[in-house]
Every structure is written in structure tokens, then in C-alpha cells.
Amino acid sequence: MVTVSAVEPLQLILVLALIAVFGIAASLVMRAIDKRDRHALDAQVMALWEALALARHDLRLEVNERGERFLHGTVRGVRYTLSVMSPGRGWSGTLGVTARVARDPAPRLVVWPSSDLPAWAPRLPRQVKTGHDEFDQIFTVHTDDEALALGAVDAAVREALLGIPGAALVCDEAKLTLVTGLDERQVDAELVDLVRAVVTGVCVPPEVTMPGA
């Protein structure tokens, strides 16, 4: 009596080969769809950012050789850049802002929605309250100089951070990094105004009122 399986080895090999071919074909199709969707998104974002830069005299659009987009702005002499966060900091694909701090001395502070700070943020010894109930319920302000921190996180900065979805910031070594929970398609004039408010409060030296003015 023959007990060999009804499926011959050659037939089994053919079945497995067909499965592999279908798998490869499906993968290629998905890659093509992803590439098409990415090109469509790039065109959509480029049009959005170009229109915003043309509508405002305080913005300049830059696209580098890798196709990465940057919106450069200036507020009261301080330059800032809005772009997609670089990989490696946990926010790849979301919008962030960087700027140099012109205040002297520059505040060292971390404003974060929780006590679980990212690894790249400095560990500062003090946590301070701003006196703004809604803000203090959402954010924790870490610093090593309470007066400098509260001077930087003024009422306008607090309102701006509350208005930016997913906002948090780190100011260290005279550099501001503002992270958001937004993507490239959510850049608009309102967001730019909120960013400018944060940069102004944290980076721009406070105006000095002359005696008798």
C-alpha cells in the first residue's frame, strides 16, 4: 500500500513559489501606492507652505537638496526656523521650531506636559509655578533660575503654548527647541503667530524702559 501524501514534492514547491511571487507583487504594489501618496502629500505641503510664505513678508521658504522644507522667520531681530523634527528625538514627522536665544543671560528651562522628560532635555533642579492655573495644570516648568524662567514664560508665551497642540519646549545653551504634535499639513498663519509669541517671550531680550519715559 502506498502512503505517500497526495501532494507531490514538486507541486508543494510550486505552491510555495506562487505564494512567494504573490507576496512580492503585493509588496511592490504597496510601495508604489506609498510613493504615489508621498508625492501627492509633498505637492500639497509645498503648495501650502509656498502660499503662506508669499502671503507673509516675515517668512522665507527653503527646500534643500534632500527635499526637506524649512520656513525661516524673524521676530524682533531673532531668527527662527520651523521644520519637521529630525529622527532620533522621538518626534520624527512632527513640526518643531528652533531659534537662538538673544536674552543675556539666557534662561535654562524645560516646559513639558508631564514629568517624564525626554532623554535629550536637561535635568534642571527646580520646578516652578507660573500662577496661571490652566497652564500649571497642563505643564511643568523645570529650571535652575526661577526669576529668569518666569520672565521668559510670560503670559503671552503661556497662552501660545496652550494654543499649540502637543506643545513643549526646551531652552538650553542659548537655543530654543519647541516641539508640537502637528504635521506639515497643519501649518497656517495662526500657528506662525503662536510660534512668534513663544520666540519673542523666550528668545528676545526684554525691552528696557528708561526712567522718566
| Degrees to nearest 5, angle at CA 38 with 33 and 43 | 130
Taking residue 50's Cβ as centre, other Cβ atoms within 10 Å add up to 13
Q: What would the pLDDT profile of 45-56 be if each residue is shown by its tens digit?
A: 889 999 999 998
Q: What would the pLDDT profile of 54-71 be if each residue is shown by its tens digit?
A: 998 889 999 999 888 999
Edge-to-edge strand ranges of the sheet holding 78-84: 59-63, 69-75, 78-84, 95-100, 175-179, 168-172, 109-112, 140-143, 126-128
Q: Is 196 helix (H, G, I), strand (E, B) or coil?
A: helix
Q: Residue 117 has what pLDDT?
A: 82
Q: Residue 22 has what pLDDT?
A: 67
Q: Residue 108 has what pLDDT?
A: 96
Query: For residue 213, is pLDDT > 50?
Result: no
pTM of the predicted model, to two decimals? Answer: 0.77
The fold of 58-203 is Yope Regulator; Chain: A, (3.30.1460)
Q: Residue 36 has what pLDDT?
A: 57
Are the C-beta atoms of residues 25 and 18 closer than 8 Å to each other?
Answer: no
Q: Residue 56 has what pLDDT?
A: 87
Amino acid in position 118: P
